[in-house]
Amino acid sequence: LNKDIVIGMDIGGTVVRLGAFTCAGEPVEMREAPIEAARGPQFGLERIASLVQSVIEKLHISNFGTGTGVNIHSKDGGNLVGIGVGCTGPLDLIRGTINNPYTLPTWEDVPIVDFLVDRFGVPVSLENDADAAALGEYWQGAGRDVQRLCAVTVGTGIGTAYILHGKIVRGNGGWHPEGGHMIIDPSGPKCYCGGSGCWESLSSGSAIARVARELVQAQPDKAKTLLDLNAGDFSQITAKSVAQAARQGDSLASEVIDRAAEYFSLGIINIIMMLFPDVIVLSGGVMESFDLFKPTLEKAIRRHEVMLPANQVEILPASLGYHAGVYGAAFLMVNQ
Amino acid sequence: LNKDIVIGMDIGGTVVRLGAFTCAGEPVEMREAPIEAARGPQFGLERIASLVQSVIEKLHISNFGTGTGVNIHSKDGGNLVGIGVGCTGPLDLIRGTINNPYTLPTWEDVPIVDFLVDRFGVPVSLENDADAAALGEYWQGAGRDVQRLCAVTVGTGIGTAYILHGKIVRGNGGWHPEGGHMIIDPSGPKCYCGGSGCWESLSSGSAIARVARELVQAQPDKAKTLLDLNAGDFSQITAKSVAQAARQGDSLASEVIDRAAEYFSLGIINIIMMLFPDVIVLSGGVMESFDLFKPTLEKAIRRHEVMLPANQVEILPASLGYHAGVYGAAFLMVNQ
């Protein structure tokens, strides 16, 4: 293997994933390992370094360890162009540090960029994980080469990212915008974001589970399937089991999903009105049940075709799954 | 005068405004005339041409009329680099035509770009008027050189524009996004956009006037000042008179403004969450009473500082007034 290689890495709360790619986006190696964040950043950084090292050895990359930050092209092996890192934030993108004790316990002010530059002697770039995943879908996924790509992740929370002409659209001071916290219905529940009735509070996985738990407590007889799926314990209800029960005809679960789908659709309408992108790529656990949300969304879009041809916006499931962030992090080094 | 000149033009429903500028943004001539759209596009185009002609003569521009589209620098006079046109849409930006019989009666498929190129022999560029006004504020107004500038116009309706690194952020197919129609409260009034409770339906000038008329009819004794300002005729109430009455202590008018300010603030919060811009520039008739909206907005921003440092977003009144569009249209020819 005699070519330029980029490495992408996705550091999440539980797992670190790593991939080596050609600059054309062909994956050549994939690795993953538990991050075990609570064992401390030093442990975590060494684990990350050993994953990088194993890829470097496998690919006979020979510019490893020069410590100069300069790419040395080798005659026999691959040439490592650089390492892109996507990580769950908050991050300090300017200083290249991770500062996320919330989902990476004990990881405060961790200089991931300096660490990797020192260790491997190649350029290293750090990005928010949502932006990295969106870039991945732009590079090799559902939004390939799309001029205006909005990525929406609906899982425990709701995250958004916007890729314009292949570049991440950042906010003020480099901050990553938080489209999941736009207000959709001010009579909705209070959110930790400070607002009431934000998108996340109304149609994220946590919102679906919370509403289902409340309704089941009030009317357990309407949710027999849902309760059965959760061993009769309403406190165990997850968004996934609500979707499953809705598929099996549970009327309460269907009601919860329909309501979440209404709010989900309003958020998508707002993205269409604010940005009018070419493509909206959907990812995250809740979107694995996108088929249950689709009819409501399609109705909402038809309702909103007066100002803009809203049906021109393609709404697609993400295609890279858990690897979107790894692809996008690698693309950071291709698209400099 | 021996320098490069750019001409900017703003074609609105009632008036066409025109300005000549140096490429550094110094205004050298301003003109305006009624557009009298209903007399037909041929009449309107000739009126526009005569405004351009009068500026060209005044500035001794000598590359006029070459018909070649090539700039010829003259020894004695100014050199016309090009003409930028901002116009109330719908427009076809690719074909360079105006197709807006709604606010320019009879103006369907009017080839403004070809007409001006043929007549004056210089490059001509066409843009949506909201985008042009936002660009003007970026070039010489309240958002000068700001990296991420969102412009919000609150008048009869609500319009939005986003200028990223000095470039207009367009939507899918070149369409101008319609942030004024994002949903803020789904229990709100039905809008012509197809949605219910969009931003425009809740805090535009028309919304303020509509709510005030409804409330005054129900409780005329609570709105003595407001009725006096409108000669006792509630059907005459405008947003402007509501603001005026609120200033004079009319309790019903204050209630209407406070409610509109709540909704206005939610729209601004949504822009902050979706884009997190450096600056939001406010314009339009309703924003002439921005002081009445400001306390509510500041409270909303303080409430939403958990996810992002929302108070870092500067919120400023536009500084170019009715001329923002003329400036921005001219800038189209500077910033190619």
SS3 annotation, B79-119: EEEEEEEEECCCEECCCCEECCCCCCCCCCCECHHHHHHHH
User: What pLDDT, on the 0 to 100 scale, is given for residue A3?
Assistant: 82
Would you call A259 an interface residue with chain B, using a CB distance cutoff of 8 Å?
no
All residues of chain B having their beta carbon less than 8 Å from the beta carbon of residue A266 are: 183, 186
Other C-beta atoms within 10 Å of A30: how many?
14
User: What pLDDT, on the 0 to 100 scale, is given for residue B70?
Assistant: 43
Matching residue, tokens 């560029």: B125
- Residue B321's closest CA among B280, B272, B285, B277? B285
How far does Cα B48 stand from its chain's mean position? 20
Distance from CA of A107 to the nearest CA of B (A): 19
Would you call B298 an interface residue with chain A, using a CB distance cutoff of 8 Å?
no
- Find which of A192, A202, A270, A271 to mutate to test the B interface (most B CBs within 10 Å of its CB): A270
Would you call B148 an interface residue with chain A, using a CB distance cutoff of 8 Å?
yes
Q: Is the dihedral of CA B22, B24, B30, B35 positive or negative?
A: positive
pLDDT score of A70 more than 50: no
| A234 token code pair | 């309403």
All residues of chain B having their beta carbon less than 8 Å from the beta carbon of residue A274 are: 160, 177, 179, 182, 270-271, 274-275
At A45 the three-state DSSP class reads helix
Side-chain half-sphere of B116: how many Cα atoms within 13 Å?
28
User: What pLDDT, on the 0 to 100 scale, is given for residue A1?
Assistant: 47
Distance from CA of A50 to the nearest CA of B (A): 34
Q: In what order do the strands lie in the sheet with A279-283?
A: A167-168, A158-164, A148-154, A279-283, A314-317
Would you call A182 an interface residue with chain B, using a CB distance cutoff of 8 Å?
yes
The values of phi and psi at residue B79, to 5°, are -120, 120
Distance from CA of A266 to the nearest CA of B (A): 7
Contact B293, B261 (CB under 8 A): yes
Query: Nearest chain A Cα to B269, which residue?
Result: A182
Average pLDDT of the residues in A70-74: 46
Would you call B278 an interface residue with chain A, using a CB distance cutoff of 8 Å?
yes
Q: CA B226 → CA A95, B126, B172, B188, B208, distances in Å?
A: 56, 42, 44, 24, 13
CA dihedral in degrees (A74, A76, A78, A81; nearest 10)? 0
In whole angstroms, give the CA distance from residue A137 to residue A153.
12
In whole angstroms, give the CA distance from residue A275 to residue B94.
19
Q: Under an 8 A CB cutoff, do A185 and B182 touch?
A: no
Q: Under an 8 A CB cutoff, do A270 and B274 touch?
A: yes
The residues, ordered by sequence, that sit 6+ positions from B294 with a Cβ below 8 Å of its Cβ are none
| A191 token code pair | 């959110």
Pairing of strands A124-128, A97-98: unpaired
Q: At what angle do helices A290-303 and A251-275 cross, to 10 degrees?
A: 50
Of A185, A262, A270, the CB nearest to B185: A185
Distance from CA of A243 to the nearest CA of B (A): 24
Per-residue pLDDT 10s for chain B (336 aa) are 458 999 999 998 889 999 999 999 999 999 999 999 999 999 999 999 999 999 999 998 877 544 444 444 445 578 999 999 999 888 999 999 999 888 899 999 999 999 999 999 999 999 999 999 999 999 999 999 999 999 999 998 999 999 999 999 999 998 999 999 999 999 999 999 999 999 999 999 999 999 999 999 999 998 999 999 999 999 999 999 999 999 999 999 999 999 999 999 999 999 999 999 999 999 999 999 999 999 999 999 999 999 999 999 999 999 999 999 999 999 999 976
The CA R_g of chain A, rounded to the nearest whole Å, is 21
In whole angstroms, give the CA distance from residue B125 to residue B218.
50
How far does Cα B281 stand from its chain's mean position? 11
Q: CA B263 → CA A202, B170, B185, B208, distances in Å?
A: 19, 25, 8, 11
Q: Under an 8 A CB cutoff, do B277 and A148 touch?
A: no
In whole angstroms, give the CA distance from residue B314 to residue B318.
12
Q: Under an 8 A CB cutoff, do A178 and B308 touch?
A: yes
All residues of chain B having their beta carbon less than 8 Å from the beta carbon of residue A308 are: 171, 175, 177-178
All residues of chain B having their beta carbon less than 8 Å from the beta carbon of residue A178 are: 273, 276, 307-308
Would you call A152 an interface residue with chain B, using a CB distance cutoff of 8 Å?
no
Model confidence pLDDT, tens digit, residues B173-202: 989 999 999 999 999 999 999 999 999 999
All residues of chain B having their beta carbon less than 8 Å from the beta carbon of residue A184 are: 183, 186
The residues, ordered by sequence, that sit 6+ positions from A172 with a Cβ below 8 Å of its Cβ are B148, B276, B277, B278, B309, B312, B313
Would you call A277 an interface residue with chain B, using a CB distance cutoff of 8 Å?
yes
Number of residues that this document lists for chain B: 336
| A150 token code pair | 């909005």
The residues, ordered by sequence, that sit 6+ positions from A141 with a Cβ below 8 Å of its Cβ are A281, A318, A319, A320, A324, A327
Size of interface A-B (CB pairs under 8 A): 134
Distance from CA of B25 to the nearest CA of A (A): 26
Q: CA A30 → CA A8, A23, A144, A221, B133, distances in Å?
A: 10, 15, 21, 48, 49
Q: Under an 8 A CB cutoff, do B276 and A192 touch?
A: no
Contact B122, B83 (CB under 8 A): yes
Average pLDDT of the residues in A182-188: 98
- Residue A45's closest CA among A80, A5, A96? A96
b/e for A314-333, b at 16 or more Cβ within 10 A?
Answer: ebbebbbeebbbbbbbbbbb
- Find which of B275, B280, B296, B303 to mutate to test the A interface (most A CBs within 10 Å of its CB): B275
User: What pLDDT, on the 0 to 100 scale, is given for residue B59?
Assistant: 92
User: What pLDDT, on the 0 to 100 scale, is given for residue A78?
Assistant: 83
| B35 token code pair | 């557009």
Of A177, A305, A306, the CB nearest to B192: A306
